[in-house]
Amino acid sequence: MPDTTRPAGVRHRSSILVTGATGNLGREVVDRLQAHGARVRSLARHRTDPRPGVESVVGDLTDPTVVRAALVGIDSVFLIWPLLDSAPAHDLIAELTAAAPRVVYLSSTAVDDQAARQSDPIVQVHADMEALLHDAGLRPAVLRSDTLASNVRGWAAQLRADDVVSGPDVTRTAVVDERDVADAAVAVLLAHHDQLDDEPYALTGPEVLGRADQVALLGAALRRRLRFQALPTGLARSRMLADGRPERLVEALIAASVCRPESNRTTDHVERLTGRPAGTFAKWAIDHAAEFS
């Protein structure tokens, strides 16, 4: 597909609702939308410091009253579903159907369209959400993202104390810079419908990496000799629970580490949407090295 979706400007000042706007990815999406001149409204569960030019709605995506108010005057929605269950999304889907904005949904490259059940709860909820949006007639634009580079921010506390990152091992994937995902999302949010493919976009980085690879590349950026220590499932579970993570999330993460198949797939979909190749994890590590010092 030619690069017809690359934003060259906004014909009218689009009004876009960004869910998960305070997260690693959501913040990047908000910044880019503002740079393109869009009106941005954020929806987040907790009140944060106001951002100039961004209208803020505080509330939960499962609350139809909050969602209804957030959708007033909105042309498009960037949707990140935060729960491990799609059942509470039915009221959200009803509000989206009534308001009829364009919906851009952030999903996962691990979704297997041929599988009756997905590999783990995290992938399953993405597949379920895609199905709910399609069945409601919303014709969502689906962005299936690979593992976000920003996930390694979860290692910061360990790296301030030691040169070892320990945790459950996961399958190798084409880790993608969240800034590239944000650029792709904004391109889709500002594009005309006829400029987009009907099939999901698979957003990947340029190389397949495991946890040990990421730790080594981060170490190179920090000029430290770091190493990854894979923990047995039981020990990984007990440590995550001791850190205060919810039990359901811990079990989902363990299931993903044990059951999710390895993916060697890389795509050019970031480039197709943004006009430039996806960045490397090594570049991400250099750009964010200060966060781990």
Q: Is residue 208 part of a domain?
A: no
When the pLDDT of each residue in the chain is averaged and rounded to a whole number, the result is 93
Q: What is the CATH number of the domain that holds 126?
A: 3.40.50.720
- Give the structural domain span for 120: 15-145+178-203+265-278
- The pTM assigned to this predicted structure is 0.92
Q: Is residue 38 part of a domain?
A: yes
Q: Is residue 152 part of a domain?
A: no
End-to-end CA distance of the chain: 42
The count of structural domains within the chain is: 1
Taking the C-alpha atoms of residue 176 and residue 150, their distance in angstroms, rounded to an integer, is: 9
Q: Is residue 254 part of a domain?
A: no
Taking the C-alpha atoms of residue 46 and residue 247, their distance in angstroms, rounded to an integer, is: 22
Q: Is residue 217 part of a domain?
A: no
C-alpha closest to that of 104 among 3, 187, 175, 163:
187
pLDDT digits (tens, 9 = 90+) for 212-268: 999 999 999 999 999 999 999 999 999 999 989 999 999 999 999 999 998 899 999
pLDDT digits (tens, 9 = 90+) for 94-104: 999 999 999 99
Q: Is residue 116 part of a domain?
A: yes
C-alpha closest to that of 173 among 149, 153, 196, 189:
149
Tokens of 90: 């039915």
Q: Is residue 125 part of a domain?
A: yes
Q: Is residue 76 part of a domain?
A: yes
